[in-house]
């Protein structure tokens, strides 16, 4: 099925993802816009994370994984020869399910991306980028006095916000979040959700979650996946109050999943 937004940042057309012979995502077309937070929901194994990883070609790193169909960033095919995968991943950042800071200092975690892409004009500039990114990730006040300490010494929720700061630091256009709060406690989860609200509009955000309340809280658009198919895509309020497809309704009301 098709689901088109008015001002798409990224578009997927007829995307299928295979792991060897197994098809994990089946012919999905979707638009992601910058104005909205888009949530992918669905039961475990429905292909939502796999589909998300197709947006910055992280599936390339999995042996045997194959992506078919077209995905475009600002109208440009991300699989075309003109698109450099390293640059794509800088423009389309990612936050993973389990917080995965580098075993380096907090400062180095955030500075790493700008450094490898040559984004900072000097030490002072790099300092400014690090501070701005940590501020945007809502972590600056907690870590400003211990930037030299290891990122892995932070609490789980702080680590995840550090990972968000690290993604922000390279000034991406899109941020993909793969169940970013599933390993966190409720308070840390609330902070991440608050953060997503604040980042909305500045970046196109796509979040995968198996927590329906979370999707309802943070997103404006929701896509429901089941068995690798995109079942329904629309306004979050519509999906949760007035789903058009019976399968969506059954999932929302907890009949399966």
Partner 1 sequence: MTERIPTDWAGAAMQRRIRKRYAAERRFRLMGLLAVLLSAGFLAFLLITIGIKGLPGLTGTFLAGSDATDPELAGIWGAFKGSLLTVGVTLAIAFPVGVLTAVYLEEYAPRNRWTDVIEVSINNLAAVPSIIFGLLGLAVFLNFMHLPRSAPLVGGITLALMTMPVIVIAGRNAVKSVPPSIRDAALGVGASRIQVVFHHVLPLALPGILTGTIIGMARALGETAPLLMIGMRAFIASPPGGITDPATVLPVQIFLWSDEVSHGFVEKTSAAIIVLLAFLLAMNGVAIYLRNKFERRW
Q: Which is nearer to partner 1, 51 or 240 (CB)?
A: 51
Q: Does 87 participate in binding partner 1 (rule CB under 8 A)?
A: yes
DSSP 19-51: ETTEEEEEEEEEEEESSSEEEEE-STTSSHHHH
Residue 143: CB partners within 8 Å, gap ≥ 6? 106, 134, 149, 154, 158, 162
Q: Which is nearer to partner 1, 108 or 193 (CB)?
A: 108
Q: How far is the CB of 28 from partner 1 (least distance, A)?
A: 22
Residue 14: CB partners within 8 Å, gap ≥ 6? 27, 28, 29, 68, 69, 70
Residue 159 in tokens: 């680590």
Q: Does 133 participate in binding partner 1 (rule CB under 8 A)?
A: no
Q: How far is the CB of 250 from partner 1 (least distance, A)?
A: 33
Using the rule CB under 8 A, give the single segment among 14-22, 43-51, 91-99, 136-144 that binds partner 1: 91-99
Q: How far is the CB of 118 from partner 1 (least distance, A)?
A: 11
The C-alpha atoms of residue 161 and residue 192 are separated, in whole angstroms, by: 7
Q: Does 169 participate in binding partner 1 (rule CB under 8 A)?
A: yes
Contacts to partner 1 from residues 63-82, by CB under 8 A: 63
Q: Does 112 participate in binding partner 1 (rule CB under 8 A)?
A: yes
């Amino acid at each position: 099925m098709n689901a088109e937004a008015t001002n798409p940042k990224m578009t997927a057309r007829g995307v299928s993802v295979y792991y060897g012979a197994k098809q994990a995502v089946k012919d999905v077309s979707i638009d992601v816009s910058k104005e909205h937070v888009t949530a992918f929901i669905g039961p475990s194994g429905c292909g939502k994370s796999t589909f998300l990883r197709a947006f910055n070609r992280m599936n390339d790193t999995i042996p045997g994984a194959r992506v078919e169909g077209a995905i475009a960033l600002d109208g440009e095919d991300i699989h075309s020869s003109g698109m450099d995968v390293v640059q794509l991943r800088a423009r389309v950042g990612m936050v993973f399910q389990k917080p995965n800071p580098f075993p380096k200092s907090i400062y180095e975690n955030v500075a790493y991306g700008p450094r490898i892409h040559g984004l900072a004009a000097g030490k002072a500039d790099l300092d400014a980028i690090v501070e701005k990114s940590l501020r945007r990730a809502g972590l600056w006040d907690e870590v400003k006095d211990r930037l030299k300490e290891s990122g892995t010494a932070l609490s789980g929720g702080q680590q995840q916000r550090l990972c968000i700061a690290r993604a922000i630091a390279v000034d991406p256009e899109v941020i993909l979040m793969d169940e970013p709060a599933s390993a966190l406690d409720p308070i840390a989860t609330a902070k991440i959700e608050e953060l997503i609200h604040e980042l909305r509009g500045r970046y196109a955000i796509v979040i995968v979650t198996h927590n329906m309340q979370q999707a309802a809280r943070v997103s404006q658009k929701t896509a429901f996946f089941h068995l690798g198919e995109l079942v329904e895509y629309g306004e979050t309020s519509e999906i949760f109050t007035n789903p058009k497809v019976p399968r969506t309704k059954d999932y929302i009301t907890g009949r399966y999943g």
